[in-house]
């Protein structure tokens, strides 16, 4: 049965990817992309990587799908120029074939039965302060990478705001719509609970700041789209604090050991678990805010273009 | 095969049948409102029966409860999405409901 499921996945994923690239209509491409993301999350789950499956379904599919859909409402849907695409095609085909060959060669060149770094992580996991190996690597053994990643996310949020400065303007309040209001009231407590649970469970199972932040940002997107909340403005103090708590706290935790004669990011063993939890909690808020910064506000109504709902 | 297995298989097959019928409906029904009707059948009954079938097999109350929660949240979101899409179709695009005539 497992072979059947994996086979269907292996067939459907390239087919969906091809359909996303091929389809003429932008909205269709977005829907197909979401389907592709969900199936690839299933693929990660089948590869026994539940952490990546969670991120893929929350960020790669949920938030990105919502962002793409939202962007469609800002753009005019025009069919792409088929002829121009055709002229580019031979080069694109060549480049894709070359990179596929290279990737395939790289995978085949890997030693077949190498255990990788798994045993090393497993042997030292006791010292990391957490029980889940992925969290141990992300927040302790390779904390440096995660720290830099957060910095990259901050820059990305600033970039998104620079590209679309219109989001800085306050949006007018929509009237209280019973349908979306009720949806918001029913979903919000559950989203907060799941986000909190994911941070807590990162200690001993799949979960952590990225997943929890994505869930929290999902709640923010619902609030944004139902116009319960304007897009977060960089000029507000709350937004700046939310963006900076995670990185500041992480930098503090990273630098503090230097004063006691240890090395950068060398977390003291008895407190490592608590420190990781606190840093992850702060990072959750930051990641949620960064992801929300990508969403522009609702599109300003154009005069006489189409009937307002 | 215990009686429990039979029961769970019956639920799973029933759920699968509803999913299939809903999908055919989405592909074949004439207008957006009819299609929404077919789609919500997949969410409510199809997923519900599958969840009950899986919960019978799960063997622990915690897992069964989690599965039921999945169904519960899909129910909420599908009920709201259905209304929102129908409203957008009616007010935004002014899609007229199918009058019941067979197209030539």
- Report d(CA A147, CA A150) in Å as an integer: 5
Give A199: exposed, middle or buried? Use CB within 10 Å, 0-12, 13-18, 19+: buried
CA distances B43 to A12, A219, A239, Å, are 22, 22, 37
The per-residue pLDDT string of chain A (309 residues; one tens digit each, 9 = 90 and over) reads 789 999 999 999 999 999 988 887 888 899 999 999 999 999 999 998 999 999 999 988 999 999 898 888 777 666 666 556 666 678 888 998 999 999 999 988 888 777 788 888 888 888 888 888 888 888 888 889 999 999 999 999 998 888 877 666 665 555 567 888 888 888 889 999 999 999 999 888 888 899 999 999 998 988 887 777 778 888 889 999 999 999 999 999 999 888 988 888 888 888 888 999 999 999 999 999 999 988 876 665 554 444 443
Q: pLDDT value at position A50? A: 92
Listed by start position, the domains of chain B span 31-95
CA distances B54 to A1, A50, A149, A162, Å, are 16, 20, 39, 49
Contact assignment for A187 to B94 by CB distance below 8 Å: no
The share of chain B scoring above pLDDT 90, in percent, equals: 47
- Report d(CA B56, CA A198) in Å as an integer: 26
Mutation target to probe the A interface, by most A beta carbons within 10 A, among B12, B62, B80, B83 is: B80
pLDDT, tens digit, for every residue of B77-90? 898 889 888 888 88
Contact assignment for A187 to B88 by CB distance below 8 Å: no
Residue A26 CB contacts under 8 Å (≥ 6 apart), including other chains: A72, A75, A77
Contact assignment for B92 to A186 by CB distance below 8 Å: no
Contact list, B80 vs chain A (CB under 8 Å): 179-180, 182-183
Q: pLDDT value at position A200? A: 92
Q: Residue A68, Cα to own-chain centre: how many angstroms?
A: 14
Scan for tokens 């960064």, then name that residue: A290
The share of chain B scoring above pLDDT 70, in percent, equals: 95
Q: pLDDT value at position A78? A: 66
Q: pLDDT value at position A309? A: 39
Contact assignment for A309 to B88 by CB distance below 8 Å: yes
Scan for tokens 């999902």, then name that residue: A218
Contact assignment for B76 to A307 by CB distance below 8 Å: no
Listed by start position, the domains of chain A span 119-299
Give φ, ψ of A256 to 5 degrees. Answer: -50, -40
Q: Pick the residue with more confidence: B53 or A234?
A: B53
Mutation target to probe the B interface, by most B beta carbons within 10 A, among A57, A66, A179 is: A179
Q: pLDDT value at position A307? A: 41
DSSP letters of B33-101?
HHHHHHHHHIIIIIHHHHHHHHHHHH-SHHHHHHHHHHHHHHHHHHHHHHHHHHHIIIIII-PPPP-SP
Contact assignment for B87 to A183 by CB distance below 8 Å: no
Contact assignment for B80 to A183 by CB distance below 8 Å: yes
Contact list, B92 vs chain A (CB under 8 Å): 307, 309
Instruction: Say if A145 is an interface residue toward chain B (CB within 8 Å).
Output: no
In chain A, whose CA is at the least distance from the CA of B89?
Answer: A309
For residue A37, what is the enclosing H or E element?
helix A26-46
Interface of B with A in 44-63 (CB under 8 A): none
Nearest CB among B73, B84, B94 relative to A190 is that of: B73
Q: Residue A174, Cα to own-chain centre: how many angstroms?
A: 28
CB count in 10 Å sphere of residue A92: 11
Q: How far is A232 from chain B (nearest CA, A)?
A: 25
Give φ, ψ of A61 to 5 degrees. Answer: -110, -55
Contact list, A65 vs chain B (CB under 8 Å): none
Contact assignment for A183 to B76 by CB distance below 8 Å: yes
Instruction: Say if B87 is an interface residue toward chain A (CB within 8 Å).
Output: yes
Size of chain B in residues? 104
- Report d(CA A288, CA A21) in Å as an integer: 30
Q: Identify the sign of the CA torsion A199, A200, A204, A206.
A: negative
Helix A237-259 / helix A272-293 crossing angle, nearest 10 deg: 150
Q: Pick the residue with more confidence: B49 or A125?
A: B49
State pTM to two decimals: 0.84
Instruction: Say if A186 is an interface residue toward chain B (CB within 8 Å).
Output: yes
Q: What is the ipTM of this complex?
A: 0.81
Q: pLDDT value at position A100? A: 93
Q: pLDDT value at position A87? A: 65
Contact assignment for A179 to B88 by CB distance below 8 Å: no
- Reduced to 3 states, what is the DSSP secondary structure of residue A176? coil
Nearest CB among B73, B76, B80 relative to A179 is that of: B80
Q: Pick the residue with more confidence: B20 or B97?
A: B20
Mean pLDDT of B23-39: 89
Q: pLDDT value at position A264? A: 86
Q: pLDDT value at position B101? A: 64
Q: How far is B26 from chain A (nearest CA, A)?
A: 15
User: Using alpha carbons only, what angle is made at residue A63 by residues A29 and A274, rounded to the nearest 5 degrees?
Assistant: 150
Residue B40 CB contacts under 8 Å (≥ 6 apart), including other chains: B78, B79, B82
Contact assignment for B84 to A186 by CB distance below 8 Å: no
Instruction: Say if A1 is an interface residue toward chain B (CB within 8 Å).
Output: no
């Amino acid at each position: 049965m497992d072979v059947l499921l994996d086979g269907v996945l292996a067939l459907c994923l390239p087919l969906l990817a091809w359909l996303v690239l091929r389809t003429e209509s932008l909205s269709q491409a977005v829907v197909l992309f979401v389907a592709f993301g969900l199936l690839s999350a299933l693929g990660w789950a089948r590869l026994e990587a539940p952490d990546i499956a969670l991120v893929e379904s929350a960020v790669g599919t949920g938030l990105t799908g919502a962002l793409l859909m939202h962007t469609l409402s800002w753009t005019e849907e025009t069919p792409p120029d088929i002829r121009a695409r055709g002229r580019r095609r031979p080069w694109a085909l060549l480049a894709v074939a070359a990179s596929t060959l290279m990737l395939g060669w790289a995978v085949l060149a890997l030693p077949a039965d190498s255990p990788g770094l798994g045993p090393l992580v497993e042997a030292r996991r006791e010292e990391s302060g957490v029980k889940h190996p992925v969290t141990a690597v992300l927040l302790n053994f390779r904390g440096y990478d995660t720290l830099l990643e957060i910095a990259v996310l901050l820059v990305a949020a600033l970039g998104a705001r620079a590209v679309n400065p219109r989001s800085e303007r306050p949006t007018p309040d929509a009237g209280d719509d019973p349908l979306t209001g009720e949806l918001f009231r029913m979903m919000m407590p559950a989203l907060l609970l799941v986000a909190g649970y994911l941070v807590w469970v990162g200690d001993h199972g799949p979960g952590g700041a990225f997943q929890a932040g994505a869930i929290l940002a999902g709640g923010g997107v619902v609030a944004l789209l139902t116009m319960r909340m304007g897009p977060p403005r960089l000029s507000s103090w709350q937004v700046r604090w939310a963006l900076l708590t995670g990185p500041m706290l992480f930098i503090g935790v990273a630098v503090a050991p230097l004063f006691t004669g240890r090395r950068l990011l060398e977390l003291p063993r008895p407190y490592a678990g608590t420190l990781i939890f606190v840093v992850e909690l702060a990072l959750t808020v930051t990641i949620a805010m960064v992801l929300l910064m990508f969403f522009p506000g609702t599109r300003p109504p154009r005069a006489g273009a189409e009937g307002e709902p | 095969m215990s009686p429990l297995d039979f029961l769970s298989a019956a639920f799973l097959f029933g759920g699968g049948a509803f999913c299939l019928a809903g999908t055919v409906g989405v592909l074949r029904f004439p207008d957006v409102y009819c299609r929404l009707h077919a789609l919500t059948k997949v969410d409510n009954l199809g997923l519900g029966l599958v969840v009950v079938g899986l919960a019978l097999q799960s063997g622990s109350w915690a897992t069964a409860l989690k599965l039921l929660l999945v169904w519960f949240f899909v129910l909420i979101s599908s009920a709201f999405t259905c209304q929102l899409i129908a409203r957008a179709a009616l007010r935004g695009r002014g899609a007229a409901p199918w009058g019941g005539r067979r197209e030539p």
